[in-house]
Amino acid sequence: GQNIDQPTEMTATEGAIVQINCTYQTSGFNGLFWYQQHAGEAPTFLSYNVLDGLEEKGRFSSFLSRSKGYSYLLLKELQMKDSASYLCAVMDSNYQLIWGAGTKLIIKP
C-alpha cells in the first residue's frame, strides 16, 4: 500500500529552527509537495520537490532524497504565525496526491 509518515506534533520556540520530516512509500513518484494549513482554514502551497536536493524559499526550505523516500521541511526564524499543520503529499504514478496526516507545529514564545 501507499504510505506517508510524518510526526503528529512538534513544539519549537519563536526565533528558532525546526525540521519536519516526511517519509513515503508510494507506487511511483512524480514529486513531493508541502502545504501549510492553519486551524480551520484551507491548505496553502509551500513547496514542490521532484529532484534530489534542497529548495530554498525565504525562511522555508524543503529537501528531497528519492532513494531514501525522505523529505524534510525546514523553517527558520520561527514566528508565532508559523503555528499551523504542515502537510506532506506525494504525487504517485497516476498523478494523484497521497497525503500524510500532517504535523501540528506549536510555537512557544
- What's the closest the beta carbon of residue 100 comes to another protein, in angstroms? 5
- What's the closest the beta carbon of residue 91 comes to another protein, in angstroms? 8
CA distance 64 to 59: 17
Q: What are 61's strand-pairing partners?
A: 56, 74
In terms of CB distance, is 17 or 38 closer to another protein? 38
- What's the closest the beta carbon of residue 96 comes to another protein, in angstroms? 6
CA distance 108 to 28: 38
Q: Which residues bind another protein (CB under 8 A)?
A: 4, 30-31, 33, 41-45, 48, 50, 87, 89, 95-102
Greatest alpha-carbon pair distance for the chain in Å reads 43
